[in-house]
Amino acid sequence: RLEQIFEKPLEEARSELMSLPGVGPKTADVMLLFAGGKPTFPIDTHVSRVSRRLGIVDEKDDYEEARVKLMKFFPPKYYLKAHLLLIEHGRRTCKAKNPLCRNCVLLKYCSFGQLLSKKL
């Protein structure tokens, strides 16, 4: 059944997955990107934090608004790699508590990190 869903256009497949019990936008996007090879951008806590701190998305953006902005920011062929790298960066460097901004390779692009580094 999943194969049939993955054959559909992105938004149709996404809607069908989200109609299943317990499947929300993030789970649907993860399934579509990883298993279905569809060009979508799942947003977890790490992706959200890093993309907000870098100014790619706004603090007030909900899941869908953030997803659309990230899909415009990155070329579709890099969605999977960008998703994984944002998660890794959020886990290792851009942590929720005590981020390692001074050691961050993205510091020159990050006003959050620049401001935090000045305070330390």
List, by residue number, the catalytic residues: 26, 44
Q: Is 7 exposed, middle or buried (0-12, 13-18, 19+ CB in 10 A)?
A: exposed
At residue 22's C-alpha, the angle toward residues 19 and 28, to 5°, is: 65
* Cβ–Cβ under 8 Å, residues 20 and 36: no
| Tokens at 97, concatenated | 């508590």
One-letter amino acid identity for 26?
K
